[in-house]
Amino acid sequence: MDMKYIVALDQGTTSSRAILIDSEGNLISIKQKEFNQIFPKQGWVEHDPIEILETQLEVFNQLLTENNVNASDIISLGITNQRETVLLWDRRTGKPLYNAIVWQDKRTSDICQKMKEDGLETYVKKNTGLVIDSYFSGTKIKWIMDNVEGVKSKIKQNNVLCGTIDSWLIYNLTSFKSHVTDQTNASRTMIYNIKELRWDDKILNYLGIPSTILPKVQMSSSNFGTFNFKGIEIPINGVAGDQQSALFGQACFEDGMVKNTYGTGCFLLMNTGNNLKLSENGLITTIACSSDNK
């Protein structure tokens, strides 16, 4: 019997990687390609979405070619990604309307300060689990809408889609068929209600973001569409933000287990179990994963 494989796409802040794992759980190969960091102004950080897509496809193709693996032997594709980084694109052409604004970017600090002055801190913390900060996606979306010429008119024409990097990759891998994200990525946007598991109307209305441009939110372990690679349909069956993926990659399966990851930043996550817990000591709460309505 021919060996079957799983491929994980790891789209990070500084590079795109593809990882090949066999059906027995053995790590076979990793391919990696760095891409450009764009710094238009002090405190601004951007990525070229096309370069992200191209480097991700390049390492996927390289992974299969150099390991003599046929696409038909890939039984599933998983995606993990840098979180919070967000972009808007044309629904029909798939062309980005602006560079992706990266999680490190601080250009929306003034918008965040205004939200605090308008008394939204308690509501945001209670319903999204997050603090108001330019780190998260919501204010970045507003900035693009307010500052990039033509975006609002395209939105009125129902010709704009928005998403974090997972959503951008899936949209392209599925040939524009799937505009989706998962709950771990949605919970890092500051516009997703983690209690009701839906986009938060109050925050969307405040920021002027129409829900029509946002992706459908699915469980992390679910089908996100299929990637047609040279005529072979490969199902995309798992999506999660990179730090949540690392939590489970480091086997933090039980309540109270903690991992710390050193990468572009330092990220400490604790598994708090199935019940929502809000910190009273300045920590944030986010969704670690979701499957089978759990």
| Boundaries of every domain in the chain | 5-270
Q: In CATH, what number does 5-270 get?
A: 3.30.420.40
* CA 191-196-199 angle, 5° bins: 30
Look up the pTM and report it. Answer: 0.91
In the prediction, which pLDDT does 287 show?
81
In the prediction, which pLDDT does 276 show?
80
Q: What's the pLDDT band for 268 if we cut at 50, 70, 90? A: confident
In the prediction, which pLDDT does 238 show?
93
Question: Is 210 or 252 the better-scoring residue by pLDDT?
Answer: 210
Phi, psi for residue 103 in degrees, rounded to 5: -55, -30
Mean pLDDT across the chain, nearest whole number? 92
Question: Is 169 or 262 the better-scoring residue by pLDDT?
Answer: 169
Check pLDDT > 80 for residue 289: no
249 token code pair? 């990659």
Look at the alpha carbons of 203, 206, 171, 47 in this order and tell me if their dihedral is positive or negative. negative
Q: Percentage of the chain surpassing pLDDT 70?
A: 98
The rounded distance, in Å, linking the Cα atoms of 111 and 90 is 25
In the prediction, which pLDDT does 283 show?
82
Measured CA distances, 190 to 12, 141, 267, 286 (Å): 20, 11, 18, 10
Reduce the secondary structure of 67-108 to three states and give it as a string: CCCCHHHEEEEEEEECCCCEEEEECCCCCECCCEECCCCCCC
Check pLDDT > 70 for residue 291: no
Question: What is the tens place of the pLDDT at every residue in 180-196?
Answer: 999 999 999 999 999 99
In the prediction, which pLDDT does 249 show?
77
Span 227-244, average pLDDT: 90
In the prediction, which pLDDT does 1 show?
54
Phi, psi for residue 274 in degrees, rounded to 5: -85, -15
Which range, 1-10, 169-178, 240-249, 258-267, is most confident? 169-178
Span 25-33, average pLDDT: 94
Q: Output Rg (C-alpha) for the chain, integer angstroms.
A: 19
